[in-house]
Amino acid sequence: MAVEEAAEYFSPSDSNASYLRAARAGNLEKVLDYLKTGVDINICNQNGLNALHLASKEGHVDVVAELLKLGANVDAATKKGNTALHIASLAGQAEVVRELVTNGANVNAQSQNGFTPLYMAAQENHLDVVRFLLENNSSQSIATEVCVCVCVCVCVCVCVCDGFTPLAVALQQGHDQVVSLLLENDTKGKVRLPALHIAARKDDTKSAALLLQNDHNADVESKSGFTPLHIAAHYGNINVATLLLNRGAAVDFMARNDITPLHVAAKRGNGNMVKLLLDRGAKIDAKTKDGLTPLHCGARSGHEQVVEMLLDRGAPILSKTKNGLSPLHMATQGDHLNCVQLLLQHNAPVDDVTNDYLTALHVAAHCGHYKVAKVIVDKKANPNAKALNGFTPLHIACKKNRMKVMELLLKHGASLQAVTERGETALHMAARAGQADVVRYLLQNGAKVDIKAKDDQTALHIASRLGKVEIVQQLLQKGALPNAATTSGYTPLHLAAREGHQEIAALLLEQGTSLSAATKKGFTPLHVAAKYGQLEVANLLLQKKAAPDAAGKNGYTPLHIAAKKNQLEIGTTLLEYGAECNTVTRQGISPLHLAAQEGSVDLVSLLLTKQANVNMGNKNGLTPLHLAAQDDRAGVAEVLLNHGAEVDAQTKSGYTPLHVACHYGNIKMANFLLENQAKPNAKTKNGYTPLHQAAQQGHTHIINMLLQYGASPNELTVNGNTALSIARRLGYISVVDTLRGVTDENLTATPVTEKHKINVPETMNEFLDMSDDEAVKDHEAQADEEEDAHKSLYVAHTVAWDTVKLTCSVSGGEENTPRVDYDAKLSLSSPGATLKYS
């Protein structure tokens, strides 16, 4: 085992390196010569090894003695925390150990990992060194700092620290003489842990008997909560288990999660151990915190002999976990055919259900365990049993593509028309899962192609939305209605258009799907393609003569929607196919209004090149420029003005774009309009100028800008208010300070105490209303969430199932520092103790 010995890594000084090499070689004369030249006696290499460490490791007691005499630090530690005494003890250099201890070395010094010199000597079987250290007050109760991770559930592990003592490592390594010596010196029995656990692991009755000689507690617990009997049960070590029981070990000792030795033995399939524990009175119906009995454990792991023994001894076959799992569920999940047959022979209820009403047949269908499923149906299991959400075993088999199980279920009377709580048949389920072979088989065996689920969705709707081309073809070939509509009026073509599935859209059109079919809000598939930017589908629909100007009930055309959603390519395509750019909605909104509001410079420019009316007002008189001003779209405003937009166009209430920009505090837009000759003193019907509007909202920066452009602070509203009086009434201090010096305060005709009524410009209160589209989307999102939930039939019921092991290994590392890998994982879990389909 190498000790940080690498001369090539010594410090840059040649004399320092040579000094350390001399110490390691035991050349005392050269060591002294280098020290006379001024070399630091405690100089060390990059790993922290000094001359004392190197000489101690090699057993050069004369060099060690001289270095100590000259003042070397006897307890100097390497980077790993090892002193010269650690190193000498590990190397078995007994004379050096004596010299170091005589010179005051700390016999209980701990390295970074908690190793003491005594631990190192015990590990390497250096009996004389161990004896000397014990004689010089070395403590064998000091344990290493090694952490153990104990899995208490599938997704939670708890780390505890059960450090090794010198006794434990000697026992692990099989150093019998060292073990005996340490036991002789352990008069109070305080350092037996985890030595007794190790003896149980190794089935070492001799060591176990020695350990129990002066300590009658056979149930000593590790920090992870397990006793030596648990360990013996795990490994099937009958001899040491018998010894432990004879010495008073509790046969039903409950460790973490209430796991008993019988649970462990049953889970591991150690039949002889199960028999021993039962003969000694172990509770056959003991339950873990999650409700697992030994029979559950044996059934889940498929240990036929153990299951039979437990059943013969009266194990509770009807016992269930907290989530309602019976031993039959557990054996089924593990595909343990013989255990399933045993349980059924002992009259386990074949249709017993979990808390979610899942039967063993549901479990077999999910896992695809055909042989187990056949045994269960042969025992007259109900093939149409429904889980809490309405799923039958057939639904699950179809979703999971378990063809053989599906065929078996249908042969035994499973209903093709059974529906879930969402109204879905097995055909819906197979379509959603994309299982083309399952769909084909179901259709060949009489599945009704147009059965409607919740919201009137058919399998064709589902397949069209999800892009399942082959399934769509099969459904259409079997006569599925291409124009079937959901409760919101959506056809399969609407859904294909929304998701951009061009190939499916083409298939549907070949089968006569209507291009003009409208949702309850009056939207066609082209509207939907425009909304979601599905250019290829939009092109296909237009090529097939879809009406480019079809209007929804609110008057929106596909071009309106493209403008609202900033879909430039869609807008371009619609215009190429003759879409009218000046069509207005019921509120007088044109596509240009929407494009301007959204700030789409390119789309605004495109519409204007197609002769869109730049000054068209809606029913309130709002022009595209008003909407650009409202949302601070200066780039759009520039394009509009370049195409003849009226900078001072007024709404029905008299608001100009400048009023709007000032009201909303859009300083960039206000500046742009003023630069383009917008009138700073334009008045609304209530007499409000842009300055009044800015003062009302407290926009000081805009007020300063307006004043610079000639806005009059003395203009009065119809109620006789100046901008200053409004600001004062509303409490805008900075605005008041700005206007006070430029306003004639004798002009106001309204008392200051009178409450001010806020004046707000008209807004375009009509929004893109495609709520039925959103309803369908929400419905499908819900179905997708259900799909995600179905990815696992069972969520692990956390009782930490898979690992029961105690492994101890000790090996040497850098600078002869032992590494201890102490993995004491003792646990039980049942993946599937929660079976859930929601």
Please choose, from the candidates 69, 101, 70, the residue with its C-alpha nearest in 3D space to the C-alpha of residue 85: 101
Checking if the pLDDT of 363 tops 50, the result is yes
Give every CB contact of residue 404 below 8 A, 6+ residues apart in sequence: 368, 370
Q: Can you tell me whether residue 271 is helix, strand or coil?
A: helix
Q: What percent of the chain has pLDDT over 90?
A: 75
Q: How confident is the model at residue 10 (pLDDT cuts 50, 70, 90)?
A: very low
> What's at 224, amino acid-wise?
S
> What is the reported pLDDT for 3?
39
Q: Write down the pLDDT at residue 216.
A: 65
pLDDT tens track for 292-341: 999 999 999 999 999 999 999 999 999 999 999 999 999 999 999 999 99
Residues 670, 709: Cα–Cα separation, whole Å: 11
Q: What are phi and psi of 71, to 5 degrees?
A: 100, 15
Rounded Cα–Cα distance for residues 335 and 63 (Å): 70
Name the band, by pLDDT with cuts 50, 70 and 90, for residue 761: confident
pLDDT of residue 759: 81
Say if CB 567 and CB 533 are below 8 A apart. yes
- In contact, 121 and 144? CB cutoff 8 Å: no
How do 818-826 and 804-812 pair as beta strands?
antiparallel
Q: What is the pLDDT of residues 107-148, one digit of tens each?
A: 999 998 889 999 999 999 999 999 999 999 998 888 886 543
The answer to whether 227 and 249 are in contact (CB under 8 A) is yes
pLDDT of res. 179 = 80
Q: Is the pLDDT of residue 496 over 90?
A: yes
Q: Looking at the predicted structure, is the pLDDT value of residue 185 above 80?
A: no
In a domain, 211, yes or no: no
Residue 623 φ/ψ region, left for φ over 0, alpha for ψ in the -120 to 50 degree band, beta for the rest:
beta
Instruction: Answer yes or no: is 721 within a domain.
Output: yes
Of the two residues 99 and 141, the one the predictor is more confident about is 99
Ramachandran angles phi, psi of 828, nearest 5°: -130, 140
Percentage of the chain exceeding pLDDT 70: 85
The pLDDT of residue 812 is above 50: no
Range of the domain at 752: 647-769
Does residue 831 carry a pLDDT above 50? no
The chain-wide mean pLDDT, for the chain, equals 87
Report the candidate in 104, 85, 93, 171 with the shortest Cα–Cα distance to residue 128: 93
* pLDDT given at position 162: 53
Q: And the tokens for 674?
A: 């003023």
| Angstrom distance (rounded) from CA 691 to CA 717 | 11
Burial class (CB in 10 A: 0-12, 13-18, 19+), 188: exposed
pLDDT digits (tens, 9 = 90+) for 64-76: 999 999 999 999 9
Q: What residues contact 144, with CB distance under 8 A and at least 6 apart?
A: 113, 114, 115, 119, 163, 164, 165, 820
63 and 55 Cβ atoms separated by less than 8 Å: yes
Per-range mean pLDDT, top range of 351-355, 763-767, 780-784: 351-355
More confident residue, 567 or 198: 567
Dist CA 319 CA 287 (whole Å): 9
In this structure, the number of other CB atoms found within 10 A of the CB of residue 6 comes to 12
**Per the domain annotation, does 675 fall within a domain?**
yes
Residue 548's pLDDT band (boundaries 50, 70, 90)?
very high
Is residue 779 very low, low, confident or very high in pLDDT (cuts 50, 70, 90)? low
Residue-level pLDDT at 167: 83
Per this entry, what is the length of the chain? 838
- Poorest-pLDDT segment among 25-39, 248-262, 791-805: 791-805
pTM for this entry: 0.75
Using the CB atoms, write b or e for 253-279: b if 16+ within 10 Å.
bbbbbbbbbbbbbbbbbbbebbbbbbe
Give a yes or no: residue 158 inside a domain.
no
| DSSP summary character for residue 800 | B
CATH number at residue 733: 1.25.40.20
Per-residue pLDDT of 236-272, as tens digits, reads 999 999 999 999 999 999 998 999 999 999 999 999 9
| Phi and psi at residue 819, to the nearest 5° | -110, 130
The 10s digit of each residue's pLDDT in 673-727 is 999 999 999 999 999 999 999 999 999 999 999 999 999 999 999 999 999 999 9
End-to-end CA distance of the chain: 58
- Asked whether the predicted pLDDT for residue 282 surpasses 60, the reply is yes
Does 720 reside within a domain?
yes
Chain-centroid distance of CA 819 in Å reads 34
Q: Is residue 742 part of a domain?
A: yes
* 106 confidence band (pLDDT: 50, 70, 90): very high
If one compares 815 and 313, the residue with the highest pLDDT of the two is 313
The pLDDT assigned to 756 comes to 62
Task: Record the tokens describing residue 563, joined without a space.
Answer: 């403008």
Contact 340, 367 (CB under 8 A): no
Mean local confidence (pLDDT), 459-478? 97
pLDDT at 621 over 70: yes
* Mean pLDDT of the region 649-671: 97
Residue 541 banded pLDDT, cuts 50, 70, 90: very high
Position 659 in a domain: yes
Residue 830's pLDDT is: 36
Among residues 523, 506, 557, which one has the least CA distance to residue 777? 523
Confidence category of residue 748, pLDDT binned at 50, 70, 90 = low
d(CA 304, CA 83): 56
Q: 3-state SS string over 211-223?
A: HHHCCCCCCCCCC
> Structurally, how many domains does the chain consist of?
1
Residue 582 pLDDT greater than 90, yes or no: yes
Phi, psi angles (nearest 5°) of residue 456: 65, 25
Q: How confident is the model at residue 13 (pLDDT cuts 50, 70, 90)?
A: low
Cβ pair 129, 92 in contact under 8 A: yes
3-state secondary structure 110-132: CCCCCCCHHHHHHHCCCHHHHHH
For position 127, what pLDDT does the model report? 93
Report residue 792's pLDDT band, with 50, 70 and 90 as the boundaries: very low
Three-state DSSP at 832 gives strand
For residue 777, what pLDDT is reported?
Answer: 56
Give the confidence band of 624 by pLDDT, cuts at 50, 70, 90. very high
User: 215: pLDDT confidence band, cut at 50, 70 and 90?
Assistant: low
Do residues 439 and 474 touch, judged by C-beta distance below 8 A? yes
Q: What tokens appear for 727 in the block? A: 């600001």
Please report whether residue 608 resides in a domain. Answer: no
Which pairing describes strands 147-151 and 157-161: parallel, antiparallel, or unpaired?
antiparallel
The SS3 of residue 835 is: strand
Residue 669, CA distances (Å) to 564, 673, 740 in order: 21, 6, 26
Residues 6+ apart with CB under 8 A from 516: 524, 546, 547, 550
Rounded to an integer, the average pLDDT of 781-801 is: 43
Q: What pLDDT band is residue 431 in, cutting at 50, 70 and 90?
A: very high
Segment 570-581, tens digit of pLDDT: 999 999 999 999
pLDDT at 42: 94
